[in-house]
Structures are given as C-alpha cells and as structure tokens.
Structure 1
Amino acid sequence: MRAYRRVLTTLVAFSVFSATVLAAVTALVLVPTAAHAAGPVPHYLMTAFTNSSESNMYVYDSPNASTFSLVRANAYTPPSGLIRDPSVLRHTDGYYYLVYTTNWTGDTIGFARSADTVSWTFLRNVTVGLNGATGSTWAPEWFRDSDGSVHVIFSASATGTAGQFRPYRITATDTALSSWSAPVALGIPANYIDSFVVKVGSTYHNFLKNETTKYIEHATATSLTGPWSFTGTGNWAGWGSGLEGPALTRLPDGRWRIYFDNYTGRRYYHADSSDLATFSAKVEMTGLSGTARHFTVLREDVGDTTAVPTGNRSLRSANFPDRHLRHRSNVAYVDPLNASSPLADRRDATFTVGAGLAGGGCHSFQSVNLPGYYLRHYNMRLVLQRDDGSAIFKGDATFCGRAGLAGGGTTSFESYNLPGRYLRHYNYEMRLDLKASGSVFASDASFMVTSPLA
C-alpha cells in the first residue's frame, strides 16, 4: 500500500508539473481562447494579415462582431509566397478553408484548410489562367450562392500592380473544393478591385474599391455576372477615400456590418446598415487599427438549437449501447455497465451536467461521487481532475452540445476551447479528436444522454 501511495504521489506530482508546463505553452500560443467559444450564441471568426507581416496569418474571434480577441498569432505561413487578403469559409464538410493572395505578381491564388482555426494545412496553389507571371491576381474572396455553389471572386490585372484591375470568379466543380472552373468576368468595368459580394433575396450586392477615386462603391445585379448597376458611387456613404478591402457579415438583429481598411492611415473601421443602401458613420475598431489588414469576418451559429439535459445524467455510447462513459482511476472510458452493475461503478458513470465552467452556453460534467472533480481534456485524453479555478481548466472542462453526428437523437460534444475537436471513444478510451468524415468517427463521437445509472 505504501508503495502504491508513493507511485500515486509521484504520478500526481508529474501531472501537476505537466499541467503547469502545458499551461505555460498554451499561454504563449493561444491568447485568451474564451472569445473563440463555438457556443450557442453567434460568434465571429476573423482571419487577417498584419502591418508587420504579409507572410503570417493571424486569427481573431469576437462575441459581438466589434471587439476581437487574438486566438493565435502566426497561425499559418504558406510554404512560399505571401498570405495577403486571407478570406475564410466554413464548408459543408465541417472544415475551415482559406483562400489568399500568393504574391504581388502572378496568376495563382492559395488554399489552406483547418479543422479548428488554430492549425492550418496548405492545400494547393491554383493557377487561374489570367495574365500569366507579368500580371497580378489579388484579393480572392469566398462567395457561397443561395443554390449552394461555391465561388472565389478575385481581381486581376494584365499589367501587374499598376494595372487596370477587374473582378472575375471561378466556381468549385467538386465538393472537395479542389477543382475549379475557368475564370469568368463579373462584368464590372476596369479599374475596380476588392469585390466582396453578398446576396439578399434575388439581388447580388457588390462592395468594391474604385481604384481611380479610392472610394468603396456599391453595385447591384440579379446575376453574379451582371449586368451591374452602381447605386453608391464617390463618397456616397460619407466614409471618405483611401479605403479598401471591404468585407461584410450579418448581425443577430438582421443588420449588416461592413469592415474596411483605411490603408493610407493604417486604420480599420466598420459601419452598419439595415438595407445595404444607407450606412451609419464609420467607427474605428480599437485594438485592431494599425495592426490587422484586409480581413474577412465569418459569422458562426454552430450549436444554436442543441440542448443538453442537465442534472444527474449518464452518457451511453451510440454504437456500443451496453457501454457508458465512466471514470476509472481518474481516466475516462466507455465500459459495459447497466442497472445491475455494482453501485460504485454506476456512480463512476454518473455526472452532474451543469453550465459550462467557461460559459458560452456550453456544459461541464462533475462527478457525483467526487464533488469538485470534473471531466476535462488533458493531452487529448479525457480525465477527471479537481477544478483548480484556472481559466485553462475551465476551458478544458467545458464542452458544447452538438446534434449527434450519428443522428438518431444522439448528442455529440465539441471542445469549447479547441473547436473542431470532439469527445469520442477509441479502443474504449475517451479522448478528444479532430472531427473526421465517415460513419466510424460519427458513431464513436455520439452518445445518448440518459437518466443517471446511480
């Protein structure tokens, strides 16, 4: 028994030491992650390059589309070239996709992908086939049409950086976003750049920079390839000139918010509109002005309708219905359990489901027989530990309910502070893994939230 206690004491000490090291590393890499909660309320993901670097992308997040917190600096660096003007899309496969400007001259645009917005993988450079090495291909922006088709709208010049830019689109020809159509002109006159398109009803709205006057202008059409009618020209919105990089997102009350870069003064602003025809005065974005450049903002409503029953509950595996999630020696597994199992084992499989320690409309799981101890992820395993009151612990011990990946009334649980990773069992051990396609992962990551076993 004494030897066992010495081993246990050593393991606990090592665990505390490891947790401290992990906390320090996390603090260096992930600046407050609480703002990046993919919880039931909308949150806003932003990707940007900065005044200090055209080769490193920064990721920010906001609960209100106004105040953004840094999620990760230098989140992605392409294998070569630049990462100017990064635009982000969440695709139907659950992954986030980037498209970006690769160089000042040339006819390529770059693509990268991420499951969690923190770690990005280069996919490919796509040659759009316009103007060759002597031209310029800039400012690609995602646009998903109401029919589900996915497009990239970019600006191209035949004579390089000083040329007459005009907007084009390419269209994805497969669901993997790996194959693209030939470029099609949008039908906008020459010397316009930075097109950002949204669609309301049957009307396409294009906000773009007039390279002659340096004003952001507004055009509308009933087809993505025009003809376009300019409804806002010159200083129509009262924002002044020297602006570029417009990007729009939708606010919870239905209004639109436009962001734009005053590149001459190195300041960033936003303004709001209920009809895309008239906008409020510009408001400077404190904390981002002078830092972030030409970004897009993606609104996410993930998990809006998924409710998780609270109180004392047990979690039964979807694909092994004789097994329940339980803690054993402070590590989580799915073990065979039922109403006839020993009481001690059934209590290990019963948790008080309550409001998430980190908030965000998510949940935490407290042991019923070890009050103050919660399930949390640690080195991607699910373990039971005492709440130490730290922000890292609260984030690690908070999980957001999602509609079950396996369907059938099940529930899946996404990590609050590592979005894109889900609780799943593997060899009957509970762990936190990146969401993957296929029925095996979906079944391993789905549970029935049942009445308590004890």
Structure 2
Amino acid sequence: MKERSIRKPFILLFVVGIVLFSMMIGSGLLVPNASAATTGNPILPGNQADPSIKIFEGRYWIYPSGFDNNRFHAWSSTDLSHWVDEGVILDVGSQVSWADTRAWAPDMVYRNGKYYFYFAADVQIGVAVCDSPKGPCTDTGKPLVPAGLSGVESIDPMVFIDDDGQAYLYYGGSAGQGKMGIYRLNGDMVSLNGGQIVQTPLNFTEASWVHKRNGVYYLSYSNGCYCDSSYNVQYATSSSPLGPWTHRGTILSSNDVYKGPGHHAFLRYPGSDDWYIVYHRYENNDFSQRKVAIDRMFYGANGTIQPVTMTSQGVETRPLRTSLTTNVFQSIQVTTPGFTDNFIRHRDGLGVTTVMNASSPLLDKQDATFKIVPGLADAGCYSFESKNYPGHYLRHSSYRIHLDAPDGSRLFALDATFCAQRGLSGSGISFLSYNYPDRYIRHINGELWIASNSGLYSWDNPASYTPDVTWALVSPWAP
C-alpha cells in the first residue's frame, strides 16, 4: 500500500509534465529540434529570405531581404545559434531617393575602414556606405547599376574581393533569362571600373555567390523558380573570377520535408577549412513563408562540393569569442612545438617574439608584459596595453603588428582590437583581428603579423599555421 501511494503522485506529475512540455513546444517557448549544442533550423524567425552571411567585428552577421516594408535589417550572433535583430540598417522608402520598393537580397563587405551595403531596389542595384555592420548607412544617391543593361536583371548583388585586392560585383536574375552580369569595382567600392561583362552559366537563374578555395573560384547560384519546389542551388568552377565556368552539379535541392532551397551564402569558419551554407527554404509544404536555415557543407578530395543534407537541427554552435580576465598583466607565450621558450614582446615599436627566461634583462621582461583590457573598439573583445609604455597598444598596420599610442581615430581602435577564441590547435587562445575576420595574430620568423591561412604570402599556408596562431596566457614576466 505504501509503494502504491508513492507511485500515483509520481505518475500524475509525469503526465502533467508531458502535457506542459507539449504546450510549451506548441507555443514556441521551446524549439524541439534545438539544443545547447546546435543552432536548430530555422535560425531566424518569421518570413526571411535571400541571406548573406559574413563575419565582422567578432560577430556573425546575416543580411536578408527587406520584407519589413522595404527596410533591411541586420542580424548578429556570436555563436551561430542566438541571433539578435540589430534593427533597420537601411530604409529604402525614406533613405533612398531613386527607389521605394522591391528591396531584395543585399550583401555587405568591409574595406577602407567602412562597410559597403549592396542591395537591389526597384530592380536596380545600389550601394550605401556604413560606419558599422549595423549602420548607420548612407545611400550614395544613385543606382550603381541601373535596370536592364544588356538584358541582365539588376537584382541579387554579391561582391567578392580577390586576394590581389580587386573587387568584383556579380548580379542577375530570372527576368534576365539566364544572364549574369559582372563588374569590376574601383577601390572606392562605390563606382564601376570598366564595362559590363555578361555571362550565361549553365542553368543560371539568379543569386550568384563567389568564393575561393585552394586557388579555385567557385560560382554558385540558384536555378528554378523561387516560388516552388523547383528552386535549387548549382555551381561551377574556374581558375579565374571571370570564368570561363565549368558546371559541376547541384548542391541543394528539394526533398520530402524541405522544398525550394536556394538563394544561399557560404561561410568559412576563420582559420579552418570548415564550411557552412546559409539559405532559405519552405517547410512543411507551406509555400507562404521562406525560412533561413544553416547546414554544413563539405568538399570532396578533388575539390568538388558535396550535395548538402538539409537538417532540422542545423549545425554545432560555434562561438567566435572566449572570455578573458581584463585589467590584469599577463605574458603571451608561443605554443608552437620547439618554440615555447618564446614570448610576444615589443621592440623598437614592432611586435616580435623572442626567447625569455629568468635571466632576461628587466627591460625585456617589461616589454613582454601586457595589460589585457577591454577592446578599444568593442568591450566584448580585447586590446593589449604595454606595461613599459602605458597608453600604447599592440595594433596592426599593413598586417604587421606595431606598438603605438592611439591617434583618436576609429581605425586605430579597430586595428588595436582582437577577439579571443579557443586556440585553433585545440587548446590555448587565438586572437582574431577585429576588422579582418580571416586573420589571426601569428608569429613568423620572430615577427608578429595578422595572417590568414589562404592569403597572398608564401607563409600564409604552411602546416604550422594552426600552432603559430595559438598562444598561452601565462604569469607576467614583470608583475
């Protein structure tokens, strides 16, 4: 009798718990496909489409079409999972003199200390100049590409900046009957350099996206009608950003659950060869709203892109930031095997790595000691203040690390701010440049640079890249 009296309340509580859990799922308070370890899909709420994804200032950013009364919004995240609506980045109706409606498919790039927001409105392509990834943005006052040149529909702009610094604008849509337009951009990013290039990639409909991997240029694009399950993503490759393009196959296509996946963007996690695809799709045979989703994408050994498996769980949560203790002095140790007796220090105004030990001169020990402070451009990241020269900070200029005093400019604050991540070697810390999101602080032949693993220089690609951008924070040489 006693055992039964215990079990009845337990069973009742269990049933009540199941009912409450089901009610919470139905109300949207819980997302059943998401967990602490995954993003879940979709990753943005409501009717969202045409996503461009980038990394700026230590955050992921998504820019979708402007379905909020032709107002474009910026969404940010530090981990791919928790997204914040940062508000309206550009209101076509009130901020653009040459267009009012059909605000579609934007893209954002960083250059010259500014952000450049490319967008389609009234079937023309414009560009606005922004102070930050979330604005404010100011339209240039006229279309960059007017409607219908050479029969190419002026929608879906995407900008790719090659390793040599040349920027290319790709665009084109379904009304262009398979035509894609390309322009070179001038260094100011708001004017065109040379004439229009018109191409007809096999099965091209709209939504160009260009990226580069291992010296190969990948052009991917949507095929079919955005309005139904025929929509899909295909791709081609070339040895040049201008083609000619060799068609390679399909990346995304409808299945029994998700229909019409397309208008995508690719993201490479900094310092790795891990790639993601962000795209929109219809779910549960509901063709009234498109949803933004994210999934992993993989390359074959021969460089081909494997067909993407669409999921409900999304991808692993991937933080861009790690928390450090601030306003304390520490020294920064090399972790590359065979060089762990080296530490970051400044010498004659330059960042270097040198051997440090107990018998090192006091001045060297002071030069190898830094106060880790909240980032000059973003308190969520970090800056490194010299112990020996208070008020002077490590910053990069032309990719080389210097020790300088602030000049009061926003650019200095950006160049002196680094976001901390778990070390790319799997332990320790890596420091990502705040305004060059594919470059980390790295030691090269005793010098300090910000470097990527896919850049112009011969030392960007060696196998030592991962340990060379991984550091250990240790007790200061000069407390």
Map of 1:180 onto structure 2 = 193
Q: What's the counterpart of residue 80 of structure 2?
A: 65
> Structure 1 CA distance, aligned partners of 2:393 and 2:305?
38
Asked if 1:88 corresponds to 2:81, the answer is: no
How has the CA–CA distance of structure 1 residues 234 and 122 changed in structure 2, closer, same or farther, with 3 Å as cutoff? Answer: closer
Aligned-partner Cα distance in 2 for 1:274–1:248: 11
1:245 is aligned to: 263
5+ long unaligned stretches in structure 1:
1-35, 287-298, 303-307, 313-351, 366-398, 425-434, 436-450
Counterparts in 2 of 1:217 and 1:123: CA distance versus 1, 3 Å: same
Q: TM-score, normalised by structure 1?
A: 0.53
- Residue of 137, 143, 150 corresponding to 1:120: 137
* 1:247 partner SS: strand
Match for 1:48: what amino acid?
Answer: P
**Kindly tell me: are residues 233 and 47 of structure 1, through their superposed partners in 2, closer, same or farther at Cα, counting changes over 3 Å?**
closer
1:245, CA displacement in angstroms?
A: 1.6
**How many Å separate the matches in 2 of 1:37 and 1:414?**
26
- Name the counterpart of 1:194: 207
2:307 and 2:189 mapped to 1: Cα distance?
37
Do the aligned partners of 2:157 and 2:169 also contact (CA within 8 Å) in 1? yes
Whether 1:45 aligns to 2:73 is no
Contact in 2 for aligned 1:143/1:150 (Cα 8 Å): yes
Instruction: For residue 205 of structure 1, report the CA deviation from its aligned partner.
Output: 1.1
Distance 1:37 1:143 in 2: 14
TM-score w.r.t. length of structure 2 = 0.50
SS at match of 1:181: strand
Deviation at 1:254, TM superposition (A): 1.7
2:266 corresponds to which letter in structure 1? Answer: L
Match in the other structure for 2:119: 100
Match of 2:402 among 406, 409, 414: 409
CA distance in 2, matches of 1:191, 1:145: 22
Q: CA deviation at 1:43?
A: 2.7
After superposition, what is the alpha-carbon deviation per residue over 1:426-445, rounded to whole angstroms, capped at 9, x for unaligned? xxxxxxxxx9xxxxxxxxxx
The range that moved more, 195-204 or 174-183, is: 174-183
> Are 1:267 and 2:291 matched, yes or no?
yes
- Which residue identity is paired with 2:79? N
Amino acid at match of 1:281: T
Runs (5+) with no aligned partner, structure 2: 1-53, 331-369, 386-391, 416-434, 436-475
1:53-452 to 2 correspondence within 5 Å? 53=69, 55-70=70-85, 72-77=86-91, 78-80=95-97, 81=99, 82=101, 83-91=103-111, 93-103=112-122, 105=123, 108-117=124-133, 118-126=135-143, 128=145, 131=148, 136-156=153-173, 161=175, 164-189=177-202, 192-211=205-224, 213-233=230-250, 241-252=259-270, 253-262=272-281, 264=287, 265-275=289-299, 277-283=305-311, 310-311=328-329, 353-356=371-374, 360-362=380-382, 402-403=395-396, 409-411=402-404, 422=413
CA distance in 1, matches of 2:62, 2:407: 20
Q: What do you get for the CA RMSD once the two structures are aligned?
A: 5.0
The verdict on how the C-alpha distance between 1:84 and 1:285 changes in structure 2, with shifts beyond 3 A counting, is farther
User: Residues of 1 paired with 2:242 and 2:395: CA distance?
Assistant: 38
User: Are the structure 2 counterparts of residues 189 and 283 from structure 1 closer, same or farther at C-alpha, using a change threshold of 3 Å?
Assistant: same
Percent same amino acid among aligned pairs?
16
- Number of matched pairs: 298
Contact 1:187/1:228 (8 A) holds in 2: no
Q: Against the structure 1 CA distance between its residues 230 and 406, is the aligned structure 2 distance closer, same or farther, given a 3 Å change threshold?
A: closer
**Which residue of structure 1 lines up, in the alignment, with residue 19 of structure 2?**
none
User: Cα distance 1:123–1:412, how it changes in 2: closer, same or farther (>3 A)?
Assistant: farther
Q: Distance in 1 between matches of 2:278 and 2:414?
A: 36
Once residues 125 and 163 of structure 2 are traced to their aligned partners in structure 1, the CA distance between those partners, rounded to angstroms, is 24
Distance in 1 separating the partners of 2:414 and 2:240: 43
**Counterpart Cα distance in 1 of 2:140 and 2:239:** 33
